[in-house]
Amino acid sequence: MEKSKSLSRDRLTGIILFFILTALSVSGTFFHEPWFDEIQAYLIARDASFHDIFFVLPHYEGHPPLWHILLLPAKLGLSCRVALNLAQIVTFAGFAAMLELRSPFGWKMKIFLSLNYYILYQYSVISRPYAMLMLAGLLVADVYPDRDKKPFRYLLAMLFICLCHSYGIAVAGGLAAADLLHRILKEKSISGVLKNTNKKLIASYCLLLAGAVIIIADIFPQGNANGIRLLHFNKVILAFIMCWTLLPSETVFTSYINDDTWLQTLDPGLTDLIVGGFFSALIWYILISICKKRKIISELLIPYIFLTFFLSMYAMPHHFGIFITFSIMILWIAQKTEPITIEELKAPLEKSQSLKKSSRYIVGAFFGIATAVNIYWSVYSYSIDIKNPYDAGENAAQWIKDNDLEDKKIFSAWNEDTTRMLTYGSTSVNGFMEKNIFINADQGASYSTHVMTTDEEYASDIEWMRSLGSPDVILTSSVSIAEETKQLGLEDKYTLCYLKRGQRVFKDKIITVYTVIYVRSDLAENVKKDIE
């Protein structure tokens, strides 16, 4: 009877949490203004050829094209907001259904996991492939303990997570390696593994390897891809270390890093390292203790080693939620192996007589503080996102239309390192136009090609832009266009006519970005100014 009540309570809690999480995702996306990262994917789906979506752009985007495929209704005329919101809500609702309605967790664990910032806000509202990656991760966790009985279902789940993101390839490869290592140690030879393992599972692993190789070949970066410039050996090593010592804490307890900071370029202070290292050590101790008891320590450590290989190369803080996804996967596998209890979490504390009586309160405080911190981050993020524009792209596009400027000669400022990557604001504006409106866009694309230029190519592009003559309109992310007018040799005068800011919130921090438009002074008299 007691067990039946417990199951009913777990199920009811899951149903309530599912509706809460889905409602937050729907309402959050309604108020949220999409920004560059989100609109980039939409524009690729809308304007790129199928050949480029499948075989060219993945080398520059860093992930397989599955997310772009989900956004393909854009080719049928679906607007930016509608296409992004639908894909986001559907994938996040799928994840929420798995976590709340399918997972083996009890009601307390469901509440704790559901209230993490990355689940409550970051991967719930911001339209990226991470909600899909979380869904795939839970599908893998659900079938992993039954892989011998359901090998093809296991294969499909593993291929799905590989198709979601390069991080998914790392997780799938790590889990496969951990499983095969268990079998080799048990059988003491590879021939013994081949002889005593389900032949369908062996075939599934072969197909998984083939699929992973094809996907990796499809996303392997080109030499002129933007991400390549970040790869410096010493920085990669330091980032790898921080994936173990700082990243876990940053996903649960601490907030030291802005979302515009690459992990490789992070320079944490001594206090950050000490506090973050302390909480990361606690998190690792809990995960390792749980996995060690259930003899799945390889499933924890090997995939994370694989994962940190990718994270250390190009991770930004909004990627850190993959640690939460991975942790839920491991806890799911552990729970199905043997239920996790509060007693085993208290056990290390009860070895000390002075802590024995208060062990339950200490464990409760640990999870209570983590929950409170994540709720605070989420409430803050929702409030800022609702009150202030996350990005000014939609507003700027409407301003351009209202002033009949879309058919004028419009230039965009470019990245200081390459003329092929225009300022983020240009992509955001294009998302609300029927086509690319910037005449200096690389290959005329409405999206960023993420191509880095050599010094010679940069100089050649400047000469080409000079040959186009003075632009009517210049869009930039800076209040000044002095550098652009100098490089292009422009003698005309330009008037600031539009300036709006976007506030990209991350946890309890705000990154302010500007969309600024200058109009040539002889045309500016007929333009209605909108300056914040």
Residue 56 has pLDDT above 90, yes or no: yes
Does residue 40 sit within a domain?
no
Both 316 and 409 in one domain: the answer is: no
Q: Do residue 369 and residue 485 come from a single domain?
A: no
Residues 207 and 242 in one domain: yes
Single out the residue in 330, 358, 387 at which a domain terminates: 387
Contact in structure between 83 and 73 (CB atoms under 8 Å): yes
The band of 2, judged by pLDDT with boundaries at 50, 70 and 90, is low
Clarify whether residues 347 and 415 are in a common domain: no
Mean pLDDT, rounded, for 143-156? 97
Single residue among 350, 369, 387 that ends a domain in this structure: 387
Give the confidence band of 353 by pLDDT, cuts at 50, 70, 90: confident
**pLDDT category of residue 349 using cuts at 50, 70 and 90:** confident
| Eight-state DSSP code of residue 373 | H
Q: Are residues 304 and 408 in the same domain?
A: no
Shared-domain flag, residues 148 and 296: yes
Show the domain range for 113. 2-31+79-387
Q: What is the pLDDT of residues 296-332, one digit of tens each?
A: 999 999 999 999 999 998 889 999 999 999 999 999 9
Q: What pLDDT is attached to residue 3?
A: 65
| Per-residue H/E/C for 443-494 | HHCCCCCCECCCHHHHHHHHHHHHHCCCCCEEEECCCCCHHHHHHHCCCCCE
Query: Is residue 474 assigned to a domain?
Result: yes
Q: Are residues 373 and 403 in the same domain?
A: no
Same domain assignment for residues 344 and 484: no
Spatial distance between the Cα atoms of 28 and 306, rounded to a whole number of angstroms: 33
51 in a structural domain: no
- pLDDT (average), residues 388-404: 97
pLDDT in tens, 4-50: 767 789 999 999 999 999 999 999 999 999 999 999 999 999 999 99
Count the domains in the chain.
Answer: 2
What is the average pLDDT score of the chain? 95
Is residue 36 domain-resident? no
What is the average pLDDT across 170-192? 95
What is the average pLDDT across 389-403?
A: 98
258, 404: one domain: no
Q: Rounded to two decimals, what is the model's pTM? A: 0.96
The residue from 334, 357, 387 where one domain ends is 387
Query: Predicted confidence band at 214 (pLDDT cuts at 50, 70, 90)?
Result: very high
What is the distance between the alpha carbons of residues 283 and 290, in angstroms, rounded to a whole number?
11
Q: Are residues 260 and 402 in the same domain?
A: no
